[in-house]
Structure formats: C-alpha cells, structure tokens
Amino acid sequence: MIRIRILGAGGAVPTPTHTPAAYWVTVDGVSLLMDPGPGALVRLVRCGDAAGGVDDVETVLLSHLHPDHSGDLLALLFALHSPLPTSEAPLQLFGPPGLQRLLDRLGDIYGSWLVPRKRALTVTEVRPGDCVPLGSGDGSVDGSGGATAVAFAVDHPQDRLSDMALGWRFTDAAGQVAVYSGDTGDCATLREAAAGCDLLILECSTTDEWDVPGHLNPAGAGAVCAAANPRRVVLTHQYPNAAALDLPRLLARHFAGPVEQARDDDVYLLPDPPRPSRKDPA
Ligand SMILES: [Zn+2]
C-alpha cells in the first residue's frame, strides 16, 4: 500500500491552498517526510498523520536542496535538540550530493542547536539508481522483495550546494509504483522512471505562457504524461499563476488519462479505494 499526503502542493510562493513542497509518504506502513519545505512540520502535525509529532519523523528524503524543498530541515533539527521529544530512534536523511555540506554550513552558524539531543543522525548522499529500503513485511530492511524508494536524475538547474536534482520512485511489496518528479523540466530520465507507473506526482510549476527552464508547464507536463502513460497523474508544485488555472483541462489536450490538481492536505492512495457505483445503496 502506498499513501501520499500532499502537505504542500505549491512552490516557493505560498498561497492559502498551495504552500511549499512537502509530502508525508507511507509505503507498506513505513512513513517518511519527503521534501521538508517551509512549514512542513506545522502542516504534518496539523493534518493528524503524525500523532507523535516530530517523534514520528524517522526518515527524510530530499529531491534537491532549494529552500522551498528543504527549509524545514532546520526546523526539524532544532525541534529535536529540544529536551521534549522522547524518541531515541535514529533520524535518517537521504538527499543529493551537497546535503552534508548544507548541514555543515548550517552547523557553522547554529552549532549544537541543530544537534538532535536523543537521536543519532545519519546523512546519506544519494545518486541516481541508489535504493533506500523501506522495510518489508518481516521487518527486515535489506530491500529484498520489500518496499523501496529509488532515486533518479531529473533536469533542474542547481548551483552553489549541489549539481544534482533527484526524483523518487516508490515501489511497495505488491509491486505498485508511485513516482515523484521533484522539480524538473521534461527529460528522458523522468519519462523512463514514470513509464507505466500507477501514480505520478508531477510538478507543474508554471503556465504555458511562461516557460521556465528546469520546470514544467501544462504543455510540458502533458508531453511527459503522453510519453510515460501513467495510470493516474496528480499535479503539484503549482506556483500561484499555475494554481489559478484548470490544469487537468489544459493537460487533456496532450494526455487522455486521469489528471488531478493537488491542493494542500490531499491524500492519494494505491491501490485506489473502491469508488461507489450507482448500484451501491446511498
Ligand atoms: Zn527547485
């Protein structure tokens, strides 16, 4: 089973319905925080998915290091420096090369304030093709037959901290696949990772009239979907100008499959929950 809570369906410029990138992903019972953009922790505890608050965050995946995808790393580490959280579980961070340098630079400024008081911190810099095991039914974490998150390269210009941006491909033990594009333009690696997937969480940052390199607009997102033919598409990372559009209608010019436009707090499930038929009693 895969469940994805869209904590933030927007980009760097927040609106009441679309705040910066953040996702609470649960694969076969293992939950992780993906792309802790600004406000991610607040939205996580408010949505009710993490009853234990920051104690429930044991794994963090990052697609890239831009602040709208990573800003709440600072908030998370500072919260875990407080004596109040009780968990002693390790905190595992996975992200592109440059993640350690980002943490080192923040440590230069904040010192011990960012050191979790009770939890060991592990930082793993990930390259395309690397696999993060998410546990399996018997509790082992060797990834054999169990759920996984596999990183793939995407096309999103980086500078200063990292020269790499990633997407993530989640597979549960039943073989269902959900793909998160991260921030990207149309590229072969995204098309390949998303080919035939069950659920594609796809960025659609901007409008067809405003083409931004390293991002998708409805025409670009439609081209990716037409090539990859995912079973279901959810559009995310909408800046205010894109969020104001009817994006599924615009994508329908390019792709015939089901497309939805995410808002903060939406939840998507694999397998899809049964939809009521007309024969069902009211
Ligand atoms: Zn970015």
Contact between 243 and 237 (Cβ < 8 Å): no
Give the sign of the dihedral formed by CA 97, CA 240, CA 236, CA 192. Answer: negative
Ligand 1 centre from 218 Cα, in Å?
Answer: 18
The two structure tokens encoding residue 274: 């049964």
DSSP symbols for 9-64: -B-SS--SS--S-EEEEEETTEEEEE---TTHHHHHHHHTS-TTGGGG--EEE-S-
Ligand 1 centre from 211 Cα, in Å?
Answer: 15
Ligand 1 centre from 205 Cα, in Å?
Answer: 10
Q: What is the CA radius of gyration of the chain?
A: 18
What is the rounded distance in angstroms from the CA atom of residue 173 to the CA atom of residue 205?
A: 32
pLDDT of residue 2: 97
Kind plus residue range of the DSSP H or E element containing 218: helix 218-228
> Mean pLDDT, the chain, as a whole number?
93
Ligand 1 centre from 216 Cα, in Å?
Answer: 12
pLDDT of residue 279: 55
Taking only the tens place, the pLDDT of each residue in 225-234 is 999 999 999 9
Ligand 1 centre from 171 Cα, in Å?
Answer: 24
Contact between 15 and 243 (Cβ < 8 Å): yes
pLDDT of residue 150: 97
Pick the closest to residue 239 from 35, 8, 10 (CA basis): 10
Contact between 151 and 128 (Cβ < 8 Å): yes
Indicate whether 277 belongs to any domain: no
Which amino acid makes up residue 23? Y
Ligand 1 centre from 83 Cα, in Å?
Answer: 33
pLDDT of residue 145: 62
Ligand 1 centre from 113 Cα, in Å?
Answer: 27
**Residue 14 φ/ψ, nearest 5 degrees:** -80, 150
DSSP 272: P
Indicate whether 281 belongs to any domain: no
Q: Work out the angle at residue 216's Cα, subtended by the Cα atoms of residues 15 and 208, and round it to the nearest 5 degrees.
A: 85
Ligand 1 centre from 30 Cα, in Å?
Answer: 26
pLDDT of residue 186: 97
* pLDDT above 70: percentage of residues in the chain: 93
Pick the closest to residue 183 from 218, 209, 211, 158 (CA basis): 158
Indicate whether 278 belongs to any domain: no
What is the rounded distance in angstroms from the CA atom of residue 69 to the CA atom of residue 35?
A: 5
The model carries a pTM of: 0.93
Half-sphere exposure of 133 (CA within 13 A, CB side): 12
Indicate whether 178 belongs to any domain: yes
Work out the pLDDT band at 139, boundaries 50, 70, 90.
Answer: very low
**Residue 92 φ/ψ, nearest 5 degrees:** -110, 125
Residues near 46 by beta carbon (within 8 Å), at least 6 away in sequence: none
Q: In the predicted model, is pLDDT for residue 12 greater than 80?
A: yes
Q: In the predicted model, is pLDDT for residue 62 greater than 70?
A: yes
Which amino acid makes up residue 45? V
Work out the pLDDT band at 162, boundaries 50, 70, 90.
Answer: confident
Q: Work out the average pLDDT over 22-38.
A: 97
Q: Are strands 233-236 and 259-261 parallel, antiparallel or unpaired?
A: parallel
Pick the range with the lowest mean pLDDT from 58-62, 128-132, 142-146, 205-209: 142-146
Indicate whether 8 belongs to any domain: yes
Ligand 1 centre from 163 Cα, in Å?
Answer: 12
Q: Work out the average pLDDT over 242-269.
A: 98
pLDDT of residue 280: 53
Q: Work out the average pLDDT over 76-93.
A: 98
Q: In the predicted model, is pLDDT for residue 278 greater than 90?
A: no
Q: In the predicted model, is pLDDT for residue 137 greater than 50?
A: no
Ligand 1 centre from 237 Cα, in Å?
Answer: 10
Instruction: Count other C-beta atoms under 10 Å from residue 210's C-beta.
Output: 12
Ligand 1 centre from 64 Cα, in Å?
Answer: 7
pLDDT of residue 163: 81
Ligand 1 centre from 183 Cα, in Å?
Answer: 5
Pick the closest to residue 169 from 128, 121, 210 (CA basis): 128
Q: In the predicted model, is pLDDT for residue 1 greater than 80?
A: yes
The domain spanning residue 214 has which CATH number?
3.60.15.10
Dihedral of the CA atoms 163, 185, 128, 232 (nearest 10)? 150
Kind plus residue range of the DSSP H or E element containing 227: helix 218-228
Indicate whether 250 belongs to any domain: yes
Taking only the tens place, the pLDDT of each residue in 88-136 is 999 999 999 999 999 999 999 999 999 999 999 999 999 999 999 997 5
Ligand 1 centre from 106 Cα, in Å?
Answer: 19
Domain carrying residue 11: 2-136+143-270
Indicate whether 279 belongs to any domain: no
Work out the pLDDT band at 146, boundaries 50, 70, 90.
Answer: confident
Ligand 1 centre from 67 Cα, in Å?
Answer: 8
pLDDT of residue 144: 54
What is the rounded distance in angstroms from the CA atom of residue 235 to the CA atom of residue 145?
A: 30
Ligand 1 centre from 151 Cα, in Å?
Answer: 16
Indicate whether 276 belongs to any domain: no
Domain count, the chain: 1
Contact between 107 and 168 (Cβ < 8 Å): no
pLDDT of residue 158: 75
